[in-house]
Structure 1
Amino acid sequence: MSKENLKKIFSEYSIKVENRAENFSESINRSPLNKVRTELSDLAKNHALIQEQGISQFEMPTGAGKTEAGLRYGVNNIINFNKGRLIYMAPFLSIVEQSAQSIKNVVGEEFCLEHHSNVVNDESESNYEKVQDETVLDKQLYMPLSYVTDYWDSAIIVTTMVQFYDTLFGGKSATICRFCKLIDSTIIIDEVQSLPVNHIYCFNLMLNFLSKIMNANILLCSATQPPFDDDTRLDYPIILAEKKRVIPSNEELKEQGKDLIDYGVFERSRVFPAWIQSESNEDMELEDVLDLLSEQMESVNSALCILNTKGAVKALFEKVKEKFPKAKIFYLTTNLCAAHRLDRIEEIREILKSIRKSPTYKQEKLICITTSLIEAGVDVDFDVVLRSVTGADSIEQARGRCNREGLLPNGGKVFILRLKEDNTNVKGLKDIYERGEITTDFVNRQIEEGQKPLNMRQLTEKFYQKYFLENSGEMVFKISIKERGKGDFRGNALELLSTSDSKIQALGNSDCQIEFKNKHMLWQSFRTASLHMKLINQETKSLIVPYRNEEKLNKLIRAIDSYDFAKVKKLIKRLQRYTVNVYDEEEIISCCSFADEELGIYILRSENYDMNSGIKTGSDAFIF
């Protein structure tokens, strides 16, 4: 897509975005909360009109309307500086799905690509590198796969952290084609603190490269910014722009003679640690969670319970159904495809709205049991939230689903749960376990200091200090390789992409090293680094599931059978919300009604997809 075409598209988007902002500003039901949301959106637009490239911090409280403010920023930034594409990236599928829907609601679907699952698995391109015969290689490169792989030619790309990271560091042709689309772009990175610690240095350096060399304008979004720019503690910090804050602080606004932002409107709920309710101060069983839920449901009409694993969600869901036979009970995990989850979330929203409109309405109560997929980027408004202990930043996100619109006269309540190991099995999930332990430690310190409810701003800042800055030595991705005939290599990704000293030393004696240096102009080990730098260690497959899409599935199969790959590509885009990511196991493939291994397209049998709990097989093979 040419720059002229992009300019025309974003000119049309600008009209739609500004009309949306104006209508929201002039709304008759303009609450103090919506007034502040409008003020924040206006400040974001102001920054978009003065910064062409650089890295800035986009800090807005949960529930402040960050997605639409970010869209407004991106469109105005691109129009004002005649930039290229708008790239929106988030760490979790749930945020990507919700944000993509919000963006499409404003600008339409035609030039907005939602790219989060490799329905077509371009990983098979790595096999090309093993082929030495050029005739065979040429034949492979022009296989049907190359016609249906997506190369990010749309005006707006909404994608996941995994896809974005692969685009930055992957060595396949698809990722290289996507990488060039980042030139002169506006990039919005949501929930940037979710990046795994051992990838931070390479990520920081690449963002600096994108802004300084590729003229990208990058926004780092978070309710509380992680200290990735701390040049006193980090060896490779992010280099922020001169005007580093998209939303100026109240001190800056005061100096400029502008109205201050009333952040008090976002204090809509209080947070309590549930484990101090017990005299023995022991970790909780699921029965204890049920008791707490029962106690709270006596005075409220809706509750959200977020647990760390699918197993815990399923176990609690079954118990809640028995305990509350007259209530509406909802189950949400990534075992449901995106379209299914979005339908279910919309149903939840409608029930919550009816409850809010009739506060004395007691006949129906709603309880949602879910994994973390609902805690960020999902516009729902519950009376009470229960959250399994994890990072303080995630608890703050979950808090944003409690009394979101500030309509409860006494505010909402959030309870942090600490479940026994056998109920959550999180020790196998290292990151969740470590985050939970750090948060628990700082929560207990606040309890000892008599802080009740908890001070979440202080808790999050302390958590970041401990989790990130005290782990700065772990911010480089370590790589260990055994190569036959070439010696063992133990180093890290940063070294492979710069001096490659350890890789050269692994070649053997000094004569071998000198020969290598004389033979090669570039010493970096790009291929080795790209093969090992993965955000997710275990590869997954995207299965297309049967959920109200029978006609689309039949069209896809017919298009594949007739070798109409242009139509296949179009249908794959439409079916992306009907996919579930699973670990690459033979048992999963055996549950498919259709499988094209050449294209990497797999369709699940209808009997293996349950309308209540989603995908099901004999294997516990699903990603968390």
Structure 2
Amino acid sequence: MGYLSKCSSLLKTYLKRRFGKEAIPYSHQLETWKKLTEVVNEDLKVIVLKAPTSAGKTEAAIIPYIYQIVQDDWFIAPAVIYVLPNRSLIFSQFKRIKNMIQLLLPEELRKRVYITVDIGGLVGRSTQSPDTYPYYEKTFLFGDIVFTTLDAFFYSLIAQRTFLSRNKTLGKALFPVGNVSTAMVVFDEVQMYQDEYYYTPQILRKLFEVLYKNKVPTIVMTATLPSILERKIFKRSIQTSPIIAERSPYTRRIKVNLHTHEDMITRVNALVTELITKNDTILIVVNKVKRAIEVYLKLVRSIKNLNADIDIIHSRLKESTRWKREEKLEELERESKRKYSKKILIATQVAESGLDYNFDVLITEIAPIDAIIQRVGRVGRRSGEGEAHIFRPEDEKPYTEYIIEATFNAISRQPEKLKKAIDNLVEAQNLLDTVYRENFIRELRGECEEALSRTLKLLDSLGPFLNISVFPDTMIRTRCRTYITLLVPNDIILKNIKNMLKEPSLTIEVEKNVILGSTFNLNYIGNDIEQYPFLRFDNKVLKVDIRRGDYKSMTVQLEVQKVEQVRPLEVYIVNPEWYKVHNGYELGLLYR
């Protein structure tokens, strides 16, 4: 039995053990496995796999690596680095691949496979970590299968993540860069990196060039990639090997209802009450956190007699809270774990990818066309049937007016195309290219323009003797907008806040896991503290430096300082009055 046959056998075994069904590999999976053999035999090209949602892209990338473990035939690479756009996707894929390894490998082989999440900063997770989230671990991209963000991958590649102290530079590049150079690198959901400036796609292009020139096997995967974005990412300097699954192996029957003159908030109670009687699961997706909380509060008062469980997930919740709610979704997939017969989930953009859960109904606001395709793609994943209700948003934010109007026009003129686009890549591409045109891209100005210029210059200059310290950290980045990390204070921190406000600085010791689970990131919008009312304590902002100390220690020291300006990439304490809780249930940071 050859390589392709054994990969096919592994996939069949996995699907049988996980879903209890007989299946054979899809043609695009077989083609991906075959292309990998060509890539490692000096016909180096970047593999670009385009397939609809739920078409097995993850298995296409990971099964060949599992083949290597089973056969002890390491012809591709000794490790996989799996790059994803956000933490929600990362932890979802981590659990999925961990489960795949458990189902396919005997115990003696499982023990040898080190699967880890390395997203830099404060949070990490591995197969050796405790089962409870969160757990701190920073591996510098070392492991057999490593899940990471674009930011952590980028800063590893340019040698700004290291074991050494900040005032030392010798050997900075050796460990993380070495791990990249000996791995197969997978970039999944690349369409999620686009922005109105196309800043990050230009960084991606340079990263792909670096990997291509250094002969690192690379797979790029997507379900919805506009042609304009594809042209930005893949220039002539990169040879690609495209694999296109034009149609999903199955076709769903989704009824799409476009509510052009109704407000979702006004209709949501009556609509959910009507739909929940005929369906078990409803997904509600809105474009802003404030709107999500508003929908939750409106519904939670009206569904008490419907025997329905209702949850909210968005980006302004503590990491540990989001994790627990996403874990609960997985438990609900197993019927024996159900406490309620019905499930309603309210979410923001975090629901567009990574939620491996079947919904019967979608209620959503209009968003960019690729986001809409992803949202509708959450429906009917198991049953093959469902319905979607699409409303106009109260305004265009956080998107641009052009993209919202262009999407609305595309959907309203040809609603049938949206139904087909869920499982048909050709129809999806036509819709995407109708919306995303050259006039979508805004001209970079000011700080973003300077940051992009510096970052591209750095990537062009990558080499073993580059002194990275000549580039200011804040001017080297993968995104136009940077972020700050917010820490929701626990009881120990709250008790010390009065002292913090009296002293120039204060150091306290707290449990590491508690702190790591109490953070989330927020877009940086300038240094004026007036723009961050949720950070203010008596007109002061409290900045936190986390002194980790010994790697194995279960505690950390927090050095808290009063500051008069907010800086990007720093940690700040949230005023708990702005982090809303309703009847003991966390709603998250309510602002704008």
Q: Which amino acid aligns with 2:185?
A: I
Residues 596-615 of structure 1: matches in 2 within 5 Å? 596=559, 613-614=585-586
Which runs of no fewer than 5 residues in structure 1 stay unpaired? 1-13, 122-146, 251-261, 276-280, 482-489, 501-520, 548-559
CA contact (8 A) 2:358 2:379 kept: yes
From 430, 451, 461, the equivalent of 2:429 is: 461
* Greater helix fraction, Structure 1 or Structure 2: 1
Residues 99-248 of structure 1: matches in 2 within 5 Å? 99-107=93-101, 111-116=114-119, 118-119=121-122, 151-167=140-156, 176=173, 178-195=176-193, 196=195, 197-212=198-213, 214-227=214-227, 237=235, 241=239, 243-245=241-243
Displacement after TM superposition at 1:184 (Å): 3.6
Q: Which amino acid aligns with 1:178?
A: P
Q: Is 1:493 matched with 2:452?
A: yes
Counterpart of 1:531?
475
Counterpart of 2:13?
23
Displacement after TM superposition at 1:286 (Å): 0.5
Counterpart of 2:35?
47
Q: Is 1:313 matched with 2:287?
A: no
CA contact (8 A) 1:169 1:530 kept: no
What is the SS of the residue equivalent to 2:151? Answer: helix
CA contact (8 A) 2:330 2:357 kept: yes
What is the SS of the residue equivalent to 2:363? Answer: strand
Relative to 1, partners in 2 of residues 1:404 and 1:324: Cα closer, same or farther, differing over 3 Å? same
Q: Which amino acid aligns with 1:464?
A: L
Q: TM-score, normalised by structure 1?
A: 0.65
Counterpart of 2:387?
413
Counterpart of 1:541?
485
Counterpart of 1:270?
254
Which runs of no fewer than 5 residues in structure 2 stay unpaired? 102-109, 125-135, 164-171, 460-464, 492-506, 525-531, 545-555, 562-568
Q: Which amino acid aligns with 1:291?
A: A
Q: Which amino acid aligns with 1:312?
A: R
From 86, 90, 98, the equivalent of 1:92 is: 86
Counterpart of 1:303?
282
1:509-551 deviation digits (Å, cap 9, x = unpaired): xxxxxxxxxxxx999997269615341624311537769xxxx
Counterpart of 2:591?
620
Relative to 1, partners in 2 of residues 1:342 and 1:120: Cα closer, same or farther, differing over 3 Å? closer
Counterpart of 2:365?
388
What is the SS of the residue equivalent to 2:485? Answer: strand
CA contact (8 A) 2:200 2:480 kept: no
Q: Which amino acid aligns with 1:199?
A: T
CA contact (8 A) 2:7 2:67 kept: no
Counterpart of 1:71?
62
Counterpart of 1:134?
none
1:396-431 deviation digits (Å, cap 9, x = unpaired): 2222321211x36xx11122221223xxxx43x245
Q: Which amino acid aligns with 2:13?
A: N
Displacement after TM superposition at 1:73 (Å): 3.8
CA contact (8 A) 2:79 2:182 kept: yes
Q: Which amino acid aligns with 1:620?
A: Y
1:225-262 deviation digits (Å, cap 9, x = unpaired): 4336866xx597265546332x6x58xxxxxxxxxxx7
CA contact (8 A) 2:201 2:233 kept: no
Displacement after TM superposition at 1:318 (Å): 1.0
CA contact (8 A) 2:373 2:418 kept: no
What is the SS of the residue equivalent to 1:81? Answer: coil
Displacement after TM superposition at 1:75 (Å): 4.8
Distance in 2 between residues matched to 1:187 and 1:338, nearest whole Å = 26
Deviates more, 1:49-58 or 1:526-535: 526-535
Deviates more, 1:373-382 or 1:104-113: 104-113
CA contact (8 A) 1:336 1:580 kept: yes
Distance in 2 between residues matched to 1:473 and 1:602, nearest whole Å = 33
Q: Which amino acid aligns with 1:198?
A: Y
What is the SS of the residue equivalent to 2:341? Answer: coil
Deviates more, 1:460-469 or 1:348-357: 348-357
Displacement after TM superposition at 1:322 (Å): 2.0
What is the SS of the residue equivalent to 1:274? Answer: strand
Relative to 1, partners in 2 of residues 1:394 and 1:603: Cα closer, same or farther, differing over 3 Å? same
- Say which one has the larger Rg: 1
Displacement after TM superposition at 1:192 (Å): 0.5
What is the SS of the residue equivalent to 1:50? Answer: helix
CA contact (8 A) 2:155 2:161 kept: no
Q: Which amino acid aligns with 2:328?
A: E
From 581, 590, 611, the equivalent of 2:521 is: 581
Displacement after TM superposition at 1:383 (Å): 1.0
CA contact (8 A) 1:49 1:80 kept: no
Displacement after TM superposition at 1:270 (Å): 1.7
Counterpart of 1:341?
322
* Greater strand fraction, Structure 1 or Structure 2: 2
Distance in 1 between residues matched to 2:467 and 2:219, nearest whole Å = 33
Displacement after TM superposition at 1:98 (Å): 0.3
Counting matched residue pairs gives 494
Displacement after TM superposition at 1:562 (Å): 10
1:62-102 deviation digits (Å, cap 9, x = unpaired): 12233343222445589543535311111122111101122
Distance in 2 between residues matched to 1:419 and 1:314, nearest whole Å = 15
CA contact (8 A) 1:443 1:459 kept: no
CA contact (8 A) 1:272 1:414 kept: yes
CA contact (8 A) 1:117 1:542 kept: no
Q: Is 1:377 matched with 2:361?
A: no
Distance in 2 between residues matched to 1:167 and 1:70, nearest whole Å = 22
CA contact (8 A) 1:162 1:536 kept: no
What is the SS of the residue equivalent to 1:379? Answer: coil
What is the SS of the residue equivalent to 1:308? Answer: coil
What is the SS of the residue equivalent to 1:386? Answer: strand
Displacement after TM superposition at 1:561 (Å): 8.7
RMSD: 4.9
1:92-131 deviation digits (Å, cap 9, x = unpaired): 221111011222334469722212351289xxxxxxxxxx
From 549, 554, 558, the equivalent of 1:595 is: 558
Distance in 1 between residues matched to 2:297 and 2:361, nearest whole Å = 20
What is the SS of the residue equivalent to 2:414? Answer: helix
